[in-house]
Structure 1
Amino acid sequence: MSKIKYKRIVLKVSGEALAGQEGFGIKPPIIVNVAKEIKEVYALGVQIAIVVGGGNIWRGQTGAEMGMERAQADYMGMLATVMNALALQDNLEQLDVPTRVQTSIEMRQIAEPYIRRKAIRHLEKNRVVIFAAGTGNPYFSTDTTAALRAAEIDADVILMAKNNVDGVYSADPNKDVHATKFHELTHLDIIDKGLNVMDTTASSLSMDNNIPLVVFNLNEAGNIKRVVQGEQIGTTIKGDK
């Protein structure tokens, strides 16, 4: 077995990462590539949990801005994450990677309800677990879901796979040529500097539970495997000590 730095991971995949350049929907070639990347890491013996976003289908914030009740719009966003989770599960299982989807909102015909001890048991049996439907509560992002689930299953790290962004910058590198890339930060830095990595609830939860975070570019082949094996890519965010 190859040397690995992290034995149990939570991989946060944004919905936009599954949509390609169009920014909407699920693009089959992209989700196939993501599944192949995950299989490479699975083959190392890493226990993998995934939290998938739904922004490629629906954003609760967008619905609220259109005049929809925020809670209702957020529930629609949770359903969007379920669609992405089922698509990712299908692609993983086509690659012979055993996968279970657990949802925070019960829908037993298509997925298991989220049960912490059962999720851990799946991981121990070398099954990939995809957490869908967020936390099951409106007003909480899938970033917060990733931090919460990582704490619950005692994950070693949260891997935040970004769409064409290779780390954390002082400003948007696509808009500001003077933006500086950070190679290492603390969770408190993220909150104090107002950096656009994850929302403050997720950052606080990660900080309180001392869960490291690695932000990297999902679109570069082999990056998930490189991070798991300890290669210094992207930006690493740790506790304050």
Structure 2
Amino acid sequence: MVSAISIEDLHVSYFGNEAVKGISLSVEPGNLVGIIGPNGAGKSTFLKAMLNLIPRDKGEVKIYGNTIKQVRKKIAYVPQRNAIDWDFPITVLEAVLIGTYPNLGLFKRPRKKEKEWALKCLEKVGMEEYSTRQIGELSGGQQQRVFLARALAQKAELFFLDEPFVGVDVASEETIVNILKEIRNEGKTVVVVHHDLSKANNYFDELILLNKELISYGKVDEVFKPEVMAKAYKGQFAFMNEIGVTV
């Protein structure tokens, strides 16, 4: 089986300082994977470098054995909420319709079929009644659900989400997690930058633990061990009671 994601010796730096150092790993299809690590560990940088959204110093990333450019239509990306202009004059439905563009022909615009599909995606995330609202009028959780609907509208095979649970309400977080698990159950691959370690056990199949370099990658119960987590957090804070360790 060809890996969904294959990364070889990935390096990224900012102004001469290495943010990501020599990461190599492979993710098999049909997994829900969390990227975790302390603040400043390079989690979002790693995600963006995988997707060619920022320059790499060196390293190779393959998606199902192909370059990002060759399979970009199969990839959906949900950025951090603070990276989006919420004042942009666009409705919820229009925002989701953008997800249909990669599968349209050149210069074609969404028609009835695409609008019906976008509304189905909004219904899936519980946001169909807000379709005519301007996106800036929504709460943080509602905004995140809309951008997940946009990703669903793309009919992608791989989903990358950067801190999707920051600033969202409990109900929205639960909705998003359930949908991500449904996507995983369909055999698709989901990669999520995540900061709330107390929920990592319940949310993910596998964890990528970073602190600029790869500390550990594997099943949650293999990575989520005191002796492994301590290598990444290095005494930065009193660790969670759930895994019974102070680092």
- Higher strand proportion: 2
Question: What TM-score does the superposition give when structure 2 sets the normalisation length?
Answer: 0.32
Query: Rg larger in 1 or in 2?
Result: 2
Question: What TM-score does the superposition give when structure 1 sets the normalisation length?
Answer: 0.32
